[in-house]
Amino acid sequence: MRWFLDPRLLTSLIVGAILAVLMLPPLVMLVQGSVLSAGGSPVWTLSHFRDLFTAHRGLETMANSIVFAGGSTLLSLLIGGVMAWLVERTNAPLRGLAWVATVISLGTPYVLHVVAWLFLLGPVGPFNDLYRMLGGNGNLVQVQSMGGMILIEGFLWSPLVFLLLGATFRAANADMEEAARISGATVLQTVWRISIRLAMPAILALALFVFIRAIGAFEVPALVGIPSRIYVLTTAVYDSMTRMPPNLGYASAFAVVMVGLVSVLLHFYSRLSANAEKYQSVTGKGYRPRPFDLGAWRWAAGGLILLNFLVVLVLPLLALLWLSLQPYSRGFSLAGMKSLTADNYRAVIEAPNYLELAANSLIVAAGAASVIMLLAAFAGWIAARRGPGGRTLDQLAMLSLVFPGIVLGVAVMEVYLRVPLPIYGTLWIIGIAYVIRFMPFGMRYVYAGVLQLHIELEEAAGVAGAGYLTVLRRIVAPLLTPAMVAGWLFIFLIANKELAIAVLLASPGSQVAAVAVFDLWVNGQGGELAAFGLLWTVLMTGVAFLFFFQSRRGGTDIYGN
Amino acid sequence: MLTVTGLTRVFANNFDAMAGGVRDASFNLPAGTFFTLLGPSGCGKTTTLRCLAGLERPDAGFIGLDDRVLFDGASGAMVPVHLRGIGMVFQSYAIWPHMTVFENIAFPLRVSRDRSYGREEIAGMVDQALSTVGLSGYGPRPATRLSGGQQQRVALARAIVHQPKLLLLDEPLSNLDASLREDMRIELRRLQQQIGITTVYVTHDQSEALAMSDQIAVMDRGRIVQLAAPRAIYFTPANDFVARFIGAANLLVGTAEARVATGGSGMVRLVDGIGIICVFPAGIEAGQPATVAIRPESIAVAPANGPTLAGVNALPGILQDASFLGATLRCDVLAAGQLLRAVAAPNAAFAPGAAVQLQFAADAAVVVEAA
């Protein structure tokens, strides 16, 4: 058989070529854009990087990014970690509430959360209202500040921390804790000297992961930071892209700095998480974790869970509900009860552009998720089974992890402005950006799914006479279905949740939901924003519940990274 | 007829561990042979089996089945796994959970490239295979609702449904509980005889190997160290490794008193000066070191002051420990400067510390090569 007819090699080549065409150009263009001067005949220059530190206060921006990411990481670890431990390892009441909050927050666009918190902590919000009622002057909380940014970002990430740390605590072997209890340790001593120590590698890895995501976060820095002129790397990129005229050179230079920073952090992350796996003491079948009995403290713990539920979920949703029922933005008050109106909902439902917007978002997200899962099915299988070129496929598919959303937006824009394809300004370019951005997620789901399949299931099919692609079609694909469905739903949710990728790529004719919410906020249409956002959240929460149901049934882990 | 010559597959050496794999394995199996690859884990027996299946590409050697060349290292020719037409039962059984029992067994027929099978033909052949393994009527069951023993039978039915010329079994009994394992051992052998298929069986359990095989290849660190019928393996182990592995033999070290011809008997002087009469399957020169293997069940434990019999070796010793195992009494005796194990009748009454003598016939003491 000649080599190009070997189905193994041929499959790897085709999948590899598609991945390379998708993944490599954005990185190349970005680097190129950062070292080429603007104008008709570009020349090589390092002036963009030099300008970062002179004209653009690059050091201050970087310092802001690090303070912002570090602060919000600590806050979300504290909230999410305590919740995860209480829910997974104790007999505290009301544990189900933490799950409800997580599922719903997975369905809510980040930008909507931010809008709600801006209102809650803002000058007319209930906290400052209450302060003035108690005799204070001015505002107690200044939300347009670094502190406000960290607070809101911390709230945004705590559900994900809860989810991922919960998996760690669930997998922990209760025997180790019981051995400590038998040896005479109290609950607190056991938690401090055994549980936390065992979970420490996982906690550190997660902390670094959240930090990386917070470096690339866009929603909070844009909505909270820009009005108060606190710039971080992502908003600096956005700013130089949206000012007139756009400055691609500075944006690329900032973006390259960010990609470099994220790459270094990712390197340490992969080492940390490999270390974390060594600590995992997962046991076999029929294993049930046994929770700690908190005794009388369990009601205090339940109160903490309830408080988290109220703060992270109920309060923002309530704020949005209030805003959506008011003709203009006003604080919670009895007077406001008289001006309640359904006008905003009527406007949203009757205006055709909202329906079109929703349809656009769903189609792009579903299309991207489908393309990703199809490509990942091949690439993930080949990589997990160490097929020809498996490592290269894996690295190609994972490449976009180094791109924060806003950076990918810039890079994809640069690529498709130059490629003679008429997709700039259409939904296609958003779809392509989604595929690039979320390919690593699809890869994780497939890869982990394949590793759960005993390799002898495939070898048995081979011995029985099935060729390479027949094994994939008849054995691997059907057995991988639960993981594939979970991956598809996750990508669908995340794509609809994030603002950063699409914000630079969407145009008036090709809007998606998260960008529309952002625009409504910028235009000051708070009422319609809240009404549309709530309806959208209800829809996405339905999908999120499907996702959790599927993950549980299929026994797949949840991958946030 | 399965022909294997110079089969070599060595795995890259990671860290400082011994490289795994198989080196220079050769054997010829007439049709219908039940052949067992026996050895401890890491000895290369599974690698050999996977090379036969086509799941592993050998570095060198030759594999031929009847007149087909499956692998030839000289020309680089290799038939890929799915075109070999071999049946195989995996250690995990590898029953596909998304298919019924029927679909599992029908799979080799459905994907066959030699010829296409009609619907009725498939149904007939699957039913035949099911009844061969004693699972008639189980076809419509979901594969996930089977016990371990039933899964094993389904895996076997799937391996034989397309009437292959060669059946490969990778430790198929190791996942079953002890009593079921005994039953399946007998059943598997009966089945193999009934359909007369050449079978290569991999196991680390010497009693399985002895009970089922026509031929056994004992493997150690990638090489076949002895290839013989079960009785020959048991009674005349080729070296001390085989003697130990095949069943807890006592090994005594000494020197030969005089030259002995191949297959003759002669005296070995042990380190503490006592001489014992042994069989020399390979012959020896005077003054050469010799390792003597004696099986525990060949050694009788007698009182120290009892009579010695002519032609029977006797070693004085002190009983260290006696464990009552029901059918036997297992004795550990300090004799000739080391602990020797003997199996006495269960009603023998010896207390630890008692002086005893160990008696064994000359033909029970076999001189083996030191590996």
Q: What is the ipTM of this complex?
A: 0.80
Q: For residue B83, which residues of chain A lie inside 8 Å, CB to CB?
A: 465
Radius of gyration of chain B (CA): 25
Which has the closest alpha carbon to A301: A188, A389, A219? A188
Compute the distance between CA of residue A501 and CA of residue A210 in angstroms, rounded to an integer: 18
- Phi (first) and psi of residue A66, to 5 degrees: -70, -40
Measured CA distances, B155 to B146, B209, B276 (Å): 11, 20, 51
Compute the distance between CA of residue A493 and CA of residue A512 in angstroms, rounded to an integer: 13
Q: Any CB–CB contact under 8 A between B76 and chain A?
A: no
Of A461, A465, A474, the CB nearest to B113: A465
Of A456, A459, A470, the CB nearest to B111: A470
The answer to whether the Cβ–Cβ distance between A479 and B98 falls below 8 Å is yes
Task: Read off the pLDDT of each residue in A272-282 and give the average, rounded to a whole number.
Answer: 64
Task: Calculate the CA dihedral of residues A258, A263, A269, A271 and round it to 10 degrees.
Answer: -160
**CA of B279, closest CA in chain A: separation in Å?**
47
* B359 pLDDT above the threshold of 70: yes
Task: Read off the pLDDT of each residue in A353-367 and give the average, rounded to a whole number.
Answer: 91
Structure token pair of residue B149: 């023993």
Of B81, B91, B97, the CB nearest to A463: B81
Helix, strand, or coil here: B249?
coil
Residues 6+ apart with CB under 8 A from B207: none
Residues 6+ apart with CB under 8 A from B272: B336, B337
pLDDT of residue A284: 39
* A559 pLDDT above the threshold of 70: no
pLDDT band for position A557 (cuts 50, 70, 90): low
Q: Any CB–CB contact under 8 A between B86 and chain A?
A: yes
Of chain B, the percentage scoring pLDDT greater than 90 comes to 50
Return the bridge partners of B289, or none: B255
Helix, strand, or coil here: B290?
strand
Task: Read off the pLDDT of each residue in A196-215 and give the average, rounded to a whole number.
Answer: 88
The answer to whether the Cβ–Cβ distance between A464 and B84 falls below 8 Å is no
Q: For residue B113, which residues of chain A lie inside 8 Å, CB to CB?
A: 465
The helix or strand, by DSSP H or E, that contains position B234, with its residue range, turns out to be helix B230-235
Of B84, B87, B90, the CB nearest to A456: B90
Single-letter amino acid code for the residue at A338: K
pLDDT band for position B34 (cuts 50, 70, 90): very high
The answer to whether the Cβ–Cβ distance between A456 and B94 falls below 8 Å is yes
∠ at Cα A91 (A85, A93), nearest 5°? Answer: 100
A207 contacts A380 by C-beta, under 8 angstroms: no
pLDDT tens by residue, A393-437: 999 999 988 889 999 998 998 888 888 888 888 899 999 999 999
Q: For residue B155, which residues of chain A lie inside 8 Å, CB to CB?
A: 460
pLDDT of residue A289: 59
pLDDT of residue A39: 63
Q: For residue A460, which residues of chain B lie inside 8 Å, CB to CB?
A: 88, 90, 94, 96, 155, 158
How many CA atoms are closer than 13 Å to the CA of B31, on its beta-carbon side? 7
Helix, strand, or coil here: B168?
strand
pLDDT tens by residue, B316-355: 899 998 888 888 888 999 988 888 999 888 877 778 888 8
Single-letter amino acid code for the residue at A428: W
* A283 pLDDT above the threshold of 50: no
Lowest mean pLDDT among A62-76, A87-101, A268-282, A488-502: A268-282
Helix, strand, or coil here: B138?
coil
Of A456, A464, A478, the CB nearest to B92: A456
Q: Any CB–CB contact under 8 A between A462 and chain B?
A: yes
pLDDT tens by residue, B61-94: 999 999 999 999 999 899 999 999 999 999 989 9
* B58 pLDDT above the threshold of 90: yes
Radius of gyration of chain A (CA): 25
Helix, strand, or coil here: A546?
helix
B-contacting residues in A 418-457 (Cβ below 8 Å): 454, 456-457
Compute the distance between CA of residue A370 and CA of residue A484 in angstroms, rounded to an integer: 10
* B167 pLDDT above the threshold of 90: yes
The answer to whether the Cβ–Cβ distance between A467 and B112 falls below 8 Å is no
Which has the closest alpha carbon to A425: A361, A533, A551, A510? A510
The answer to whether the Cβ–Cβ distance between A456 and B158 falls below 8 Å is no
Task: Read off the pLDDT of each residue in B196-205 and give the average, rounded to a whole number.
Answer: 94
Of chain A, the percentage scoring pLDDT greater than 90 comes to 35
* A286 pLDDT above the threshold of 50: no
A532 contacts A516 by C-beta, under 8 angstroms: yes
pLDDT of residue B13: 61
**CA of A385, closest CA in chain B: separation in Å?**
13
**CA of A473, closest CA in chain B: separation in Å?**
12
Compute the distance between CA of residue A149 and CA of residue A130 in angstroms, rounded to an integer: 21
Helix, strand, or coil here: B58?
coil
Best of A8, A459, A463 to mutate (most B CBs within 10 Å, chain B): A463
Compute the distance between CA of residue B365 and CA of residue B250 in angstroms, rounded to an integer: 10
pLDDT of residue A285: 36
Residues 6+ apart with CB under 8 A from A171: A280, A281, A282
Compute the distance between CA of residue A352 and CA of residue A363 in angstroms, rounded to an integer: 17
Return the bridge partners of A44, or none: A36
pLDDT tens by residue, A300-326: 999 999 999 999 899 999 999 998 998
* Other residues' Cβ atoms within 10 Å of the Cβ of residue B302: 18
Chain A residue with CA closest to B115: the answer is A465
Task: Read off the pLDDT of each residue in B112-136 and give the average, rounded to a whole number.
Answer: 91
Chain-centroid distance of CA B101 in Å reads: 31
